[in-house]
Amino acid sequence: MAKKKITVVGAGNVGATTAQLLAYKKLGHITIVDVVDGLAKGKALDLMESAPLENFDSRIVGTTSYEDTANSDIVVITAGVARKPGMTREDLRDINAEIVKSASEQIIKYSPKCFMIVVTNPLDTMTWVAMKYTGLPKNRILGMAGVLDSTRFRSFIAMELGVSNDDVHATVLGLHGEDMVPMPRHSSVAGIPITELLSKEKIDALVERTRQGGGEIVKLLKTGSAFYAPASSVVNMVESIVLEKNRIVPAAAYMEGEYGIHGIFMGVPVKLNWSGVQSVVELTLTSEEMAALHQSADAVHKSVAQLKV
């Protein structure tokens, strides 16, 4: 089977780490594009020089020209300004919207049939911007964050209980931000609901830590934001697509009535394979969970309405 062509837009920490993991997992040939002269080329060359040690034969190309991204099968948009301490994801909205708009227009010009994954924050809003300026159908574009938010919740549960990450499954719905909706009822360890393993107070603390997961890292780093877990989350999605795993993963999908939500991207479970998003999985929610999800949706609607692009 011919290798897929995967383009990563942005050669910063998230983009470069994404390219590294894609190469090490042998998921395709990789093009990294960045407006900063030499940045993408330097990181691509550095990665290629690791190939003999990491045993991969993928080609990795760095460029400033979107022409070099032509005929990409999958495009990952990571370009944008990172959060600094005290900033919310919404503080980045108008700056990053222009960046995502420009990248989207260039990408679709050269790769009109690509599958797109958006990582730039505020993620749900930026995925809406990318859809607007690419015209991609809803099954060909997703925002990454559901995987990231769920894996953070999984990590915190595993750390708290001292169990293997392999045995922990967690679900997080809603936007990527402080209004996300972690779902303890749909989270378990080896099939046992965490509500039977942890007190309500402990679960509430883990839910809050998940909501603040990105901000916790921003405060610690002081000069940047998370990139290892975000990159791993992107690659988890790409792997499901390239290997046609038909996995059900949480991701920001375009909503057309599911959960009673319309016209925005929101974190929900989706069935994912090479054709794109096959379907949105609708969980049975309590009235309280549904209210929290709609509150999250309202925040996304507000953010999209305030866009200046």
CA distance 77 to 57: 24
Q: Which two tokens stand for residue 132?
A: 């607007």
Among 138, 153, 140, residue whose Cα is nearest residue 185:
153
Q: How many CA atoms lie within 13 A of 131 on its CB side?
A: 21
Positive or negative: CA dihedral 103, 83, 210, 185: negative
Q: What single DSSP character describes residue 174?
A: B
Choose, from 176, 186, 262, 301, the residue flagged as catalytic.
176
- Give the type of residue at 248: I
| Alpha carbon 156 to its chain's center | 19
For residue 161, what are the CA distances in angstroms to 156, 187, 201, 289? 9, 13, 14, 24
CA distance 207 to 159: 13
| CB atoms near residue 217 (< 10 Å) | 18
Positive or negative: CA dihedral 105, 107, 109, 112: negative
Catalytic status, residue 176 = yes
Among 162, 218, 216, 160, residue whose Cα is nearest residue 184:
160
CA distance 249 to 141: 14
Q: Which two tokens stand for residue 95?
A: 């700056």
> Which residue is it, tokens 């883990």?
206
Active-site residue numbers?
176
